[in-house]
Amino acid sequence: MKFVDEATIQVEAGKGGHGCLSFRREKYVPRGGPDGGDGGDGGSIYLEADEALNTLVDYRFQRKFKAQSGETGSGRNCSGSKGEELVLPVPVGTTVVDVNSHEVLGDLTRPGERLKVAQGGFHGLGNTRYKSSVNQAPRQTSNGSEGELRDLRLELKVLADVGLLGMPNAGKSTFIRSVSAARPKVANYPFTTLVPNLGVVSVQAHQSFVVADIPGLIEGAAEGAGLGIRFLKHLVRTRLLLHLVDVAPYDGSSPAENVRAIEHELEKFSETLATRDRWLVLNKVDMIAEDERDAHCQAIVDDLEWDGPVFAISALSGEGTKPLTQAVMRWIESRAEEEAEHPELAEREAERRRRMDDEARIQIAAEKQARRAAREEVDDFDDDDDDDHDVEVVYAPE
C-alpha cells in the first residue's frame, strides 16, 4: 500500500431542486389552486475520520467528488427528494485546508469525527408557496441554489505522543522495533525508512504511548537534500522528541556535530517545533568499551552544552531502553495531569500546533519549489511525483 500524506481534491455539493409550477387539474374541480411542490435540498459533502485508514492514497486516484442534487418538485404538492449526502472517509489525523483561501477548515483527530466541507444547495419553492389572498393563482416559483464547490487540500499527520528525530542510521527504526511491536525495516544504509512508522510502547498494563519513527534527516534537508524535511510535519502532533544520535558513527563524523546539523534543520523547518521538549538519546553505546562509555557520552554532552535530559542506550541490545520508556511514560502522564489542572495549557498547546502547522506549510512549499527547480535543470529527469512512496506502510498497534 502506498503511504500518501497529501492530496488535493475537489468537492461539489448537490444543487437544490427547483420549485414546481403546477395547478390542480381535476374533474369537477374548476380552477383548482396552485399545487407545485418544493424542490429537494442538494446533498452536502462530509469528511469523516476513519480508523481503518492510514493513507490518503485513494484521493490520488479519484480527485473529484460530487454529491447528488435535489430533485425538482412536482404537482400535487409533492416535494422533490433530497440529494443524498456524500461522506468521504479519511484517516484520523487529517487536516483540511481550503486551497483558495488557505483557511484551515478542520482537523479530524478523533475516529468518527465529521466535518462538512461543502454545503448542499437550498431547495427552490413551488408555486403553492406564493399563494396569498391577493394572488390565488401564482405563476411564481424559485430555483434551487447551487451546491458549494471547493478545492481542498488534505494533509495527514500521524498521531503519536513521541517522535523520533535523527540522522539516517542513527538507529531510530531499531529503537522502535526494540520497544514496540512495530517491525519497520532496519538496515545498515541511510534512508532505509521512507515513510513514518508507528509503534505502541507498553510500559506496563494500561500504560502505553505511541512513538513515530520518521525518515532520517541530513544537512540541507530544508533545501531538499536526502528525503527532505516534509516528514518533519509528522512530529508536529507529538509532545516530545527523542533525538537519537549514533555515538560511534562508521564515517567517523562527530556525534555532537550530527546533533547540531539536525537542530539546524529543525529550526529552519519550524522555530516552534525546535523549541519543543527534546531529549538526547545517545545510541549504540554497545560500540564503546564499557570502561570508556561514561567519558565518551559525557564528552558529547559537554560539547553540545546540553542541559536537558540525556539517555544512553543500545537500541540493538535493548540496554537502557527500559529506563527511557519509563521516563517518557512518566513525562506524558505528568503533562496530562498538568493539563487537566490548568485547562489554559491545552489552549496554548493548540495555538502552538497551529503555529507549527503554518510554519511547516511554508517550508514544505519552499522545499517543493527547490526540488522542482533542481529537476528542471536535469533534462531527462524521471518526473515522478515525489510525494509517492511505493512501499509498505507499517502500522502496528500492538
Ligand X SMILES: Nc1nc2c(ncn2[C@@H]2O[C@H](COP(=O)(O)OP(=O)(O)OP(=O)(O)O)[C@@H](O)[C@H]2O)c(=O)[nH]1
Binding site for ligand X (CB under 6 A): 166, 168-174, 186-188, 190-193, 215-216, 283-284, 286-287, 314-316
Minimum CB separation of residue 258 from ligand X in Å reads 12
**What is the C-alpha to C-alpha distance for residues 322 and 53, in angstroms, rounded to an integer?**
31
Cα dihedral sign for 298, 299, 302, 306? Answer: negative
Asked if 173 is part of the footprint of Mg ion (rule: CB under 5 A), the reply reads: yes
Considering only residues 255 to 274 of the shown chain, the ones binding Mg ion according to CB under 5 A are: none
Output 58 or 286, the one with its CB closest to ligand X.
Answer: 286
Minimum CB separation of residue 187 from ligand X in Å reads 5
- Report the residue number whose CB is nearest to ligand X: 216
Residues 6+ apart with CB under 8 A from 151: 8, 9, 10, 98, 99, 100
286 binds, among Mg ion, ligand X, none (CB under 5 to 8 A by kind): ligand X
Give the C-alpha distances (Å, rounded to integers) separating 240 from 98, 216, 218, 348, 390: 29, 17, 20, 16, 29
241 binds, among ligand X, Mg ion, none (CB under 5 to 8 A by kind): none
Tally of CA atoms within 13 A in the half-sphere of 61 that contains its CB:
4
Minimum CB separation of residue 197 from ligand X in Å reads 9
Minimum CB separation of residue 329 from ligand X in Å reads 21
Cell numbers found for residue 337 = 495531569
Output 173 or 314, the one with its CB closest to Mg ion.
Answer: 173
For residue 285, the SS3 value is helix
What is the contact mask toward Mg ion in residues 181 to 220, using x (rule: CB under 5 A)? Answer: -----------xx---------------------------
Asked if 69 is part of the footprint of Mg ion (rule: CB under 5 A), the reply reads: no
* Among 101-109, 113-121, 168-176, 380-388, the segment contacting Mg ion (CB under 5 A): 168-176
Query: Could you tell me the end-to-end alpha-carbon distance of the chain, in angstroms, rounded to an integer?
Result: 20
53 binds, among Mg ion, ligand X, none (CB under 5 to 8 A by kind): none
Output 5 or 359, the one with its CB closest to Mg ion.
Answer: 5
Cell numbers found for residue 99 = 486551497
Minimum CB separation of residue 178 from ligand X in Å reads 8
Considering only residues 307 to 366 of the shown chain, the ones binding Mg ion according to CB under 5 A are: none
For residue 216, the SS3 value is coil
Output 86 or 262, the one with its CB closest to ligand X.
Answer: 262
Phi, psi (rounded to 5 degrees) for 320: 80, -5
- DSSP letter assigned to residue 84: P
Q: What angle do CA 301, 304, 307 make, to 5 degrees?
A: 65
For residue 330, the SS3 value is helix
**What is the C-alpha to C-alpha distance for residues 365 and 374, in angstroms, rounded to an integer?**
14
Closest listed residue to residue 367, CA positions, set 384, 395, 386, 380: 386
Output 104 or 396, the one with its CB closest to ligand X.
Answer: 396
* Among 1-9, 115-123, 166-174, 309-317, the segment contacting Mg ion (CB under 5 A): 166-174
Asked if 77 is part of the footprint of Mg ion (rule: CB under 5 A), the reply reads: no
Binding site residues, Mg ion, CB under 5 A: 173, 192-193
